[in-house]
């Protein structure tokens, strides 16, 4: 069955690659961007199977209007991809609240707006997939300088876990996508680097240098997009899909370390219950 995709942030990066991959597979695509003119090449290449729409995901009413326009044009929505997002770099201590909030507005509240707008459509269909773009940082965290971005990605993950539990009986499926380093513009023109005090030079400063310098990245967004188009055709989806060899290693090491820590402190953790032995010996020094 031909699917209709609704993709935010379709003008570049993963969004553009995913729109092309879906169209190459014969699907229909509602491609959204802040500036619809940025989608002209996509429309020229694929014609009426593309519906270009203006969408600033931080505007809830715009999300509602875009979803309505998609249904009016194509009759249904099968795959929703919340891809729009960006990051700036700066220490938590010195990054201004306005910038921190603006990032969160796009990276979390944009996901919330689009998800909430599309749920009545998917619920009426008793079918549909909501795919949330996170990052491997949204699983392992701890990247200096990306406080707002990674906090939002952790929030998207928690939000989507609850969403999955609430909507599974309605025929709605979810997946969280966690890419590692890919050859997109994520660390390019859309990223600002704030002033970094000397105290943070070896943490935030070092990460800023590594992200903003030209580097060979392993991830191919075109391949990743083709993988996702194939995955969305499956009857069963993984709850989370890590993309990229480096991201797989990070995810595995993080999960092993988490489990080892829980095991190490298990007796102490259990001792908080009335029925358990108390006090328990603290591990280590």
Question: pLDDT value at position 181?
Answer: 87
Question: pLDDT value at position 161?
Answer: 98
Residue 205 is part of a domain; what is its CATH number?
A: 3.40.50.720
The catalytic residues are: 134, 149, 153
Question: pLDDT value at position 190?
Answer: 73
Q: Would you give per-residue pLDDT tens digits along the chain (285 residues)?
A: 899 999 999 999 999 999 999 999 999 999 999 999 999 999 999 999 999 999 999 999 999 999 999 999 999 999 999 999 999 999 999 999 999 999 999 999 999 999 999 999 999 999 999 999 999 999 999 999 999 999 999 999 999 999 999 999 999 999 999 999 887 776 566 788 888 999 999 999 999 988 766 566 778 999 999 999 999 999 999 999 999 999 999 999 999 999 999 999 999 999 999 999 999 999 998
74 and 56 in a single domain? The answer is yes
5, HSE (Cβ side, Cα atoms, 13 Å): 32
d(CA 179, CA 129): 19
Question: pLDDT value at position 213?
Answer: 65
d(CA 13, CA 168): 30
**Residue 9 Rama label (left phi>0; alpha psi -120 to 50; beta):** left
209 and 251 in a single domain? The answer is no
201 and 280 in a single domain? The answer is no
Question: pLDDT value at position 264?
Answer: 98
Closest by CA to 234, choosing from 62, 78, 10, 51, is 78
Q: Residue 34's domain spans which residues?
A: 4-243
56 and 154 in a single domain? The answer is yes
Q: Which residues, 6+ apart, have CB-to-CB distance to 14 below 8 Å?
A: 83, 133, 179, 182, 184, 221, 224, 225
What single DSSP character describes residue 183?
Answer: S
Question: pLDDT value at position 183?
Answer: 78
Question: pLDDT value at position 184?
Answer: 78
14 and 133 Cβ atoms separated by less than 8 Å: yes
81 and 176 in a single domain? The answer is yes
72 and 188 in a single domain? The answer is yes
Total domain count, the chain: 2
Residues in a beta bridge with 79 = 5, 129
Order of strands, edge to edge, in the sheet holding 128-133?
A: 50-54, 28-33, 4-7, 79-82, 128-133, 172-179, 240-243
199 and 252 in a single domain? The answer is no
């Amino acid at each position: 069955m031909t699917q209709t995709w609704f993709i935010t942030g379709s003008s570049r990066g993963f969004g553009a690659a995913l729109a092309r991959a879906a169209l190459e597979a014969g699907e229909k695509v509602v491609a959204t961007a802040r500036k619809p003119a940025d989608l002209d090449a996509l429309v020229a290449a694929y014609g009426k199977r593309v519906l270009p729409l203006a969408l600033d995901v931080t505007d809830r009413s715009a999300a509602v209007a875009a979803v309505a326009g998609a249904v009016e044009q194509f009759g249904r929505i099968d795959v929703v991809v919340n891809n729009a997002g960006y990051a700036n770099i700066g220490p938590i201590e010195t990054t201004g609240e306005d910038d921190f909030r603006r990032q969160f507005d796009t990276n979390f509240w944009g996901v919330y707006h689009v998800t909430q707008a599309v749920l009545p459509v998917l619920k009426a269909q008793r079918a549909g997939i909501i795919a949330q773009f996170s990052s491997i940082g949204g699983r392992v965290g701890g990247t200096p300088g990306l406080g707002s971005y990674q906090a939002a990605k952790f929030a998207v993950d928690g939000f989507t876990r609850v969403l999955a539990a609430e909507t599974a009986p309605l025929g709605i499926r979810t997946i969280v996508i966690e890419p590692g380093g890919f050859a997109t513009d994520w660390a390019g023109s859309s990223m600002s680097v704030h002033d970094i005090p000397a105290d943070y030079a070896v943490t935030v400063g070092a990460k800023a240098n590594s992200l903003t310098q030209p580097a060979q990245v392993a991830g191919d967004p075109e391949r990743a997009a083709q993988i996702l188009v194939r995955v969305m055709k499956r009857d069963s989806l993984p709850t989370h899909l890590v993309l990229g060899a480096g991201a797989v290693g990070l995810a595995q090491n993080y999960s092993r370390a988490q489990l080892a820590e829980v095991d190490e402190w298990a007796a102490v953790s259990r001792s908080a219950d009335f029925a358990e032995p108390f006090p328990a010996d603290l591990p280590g020094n």
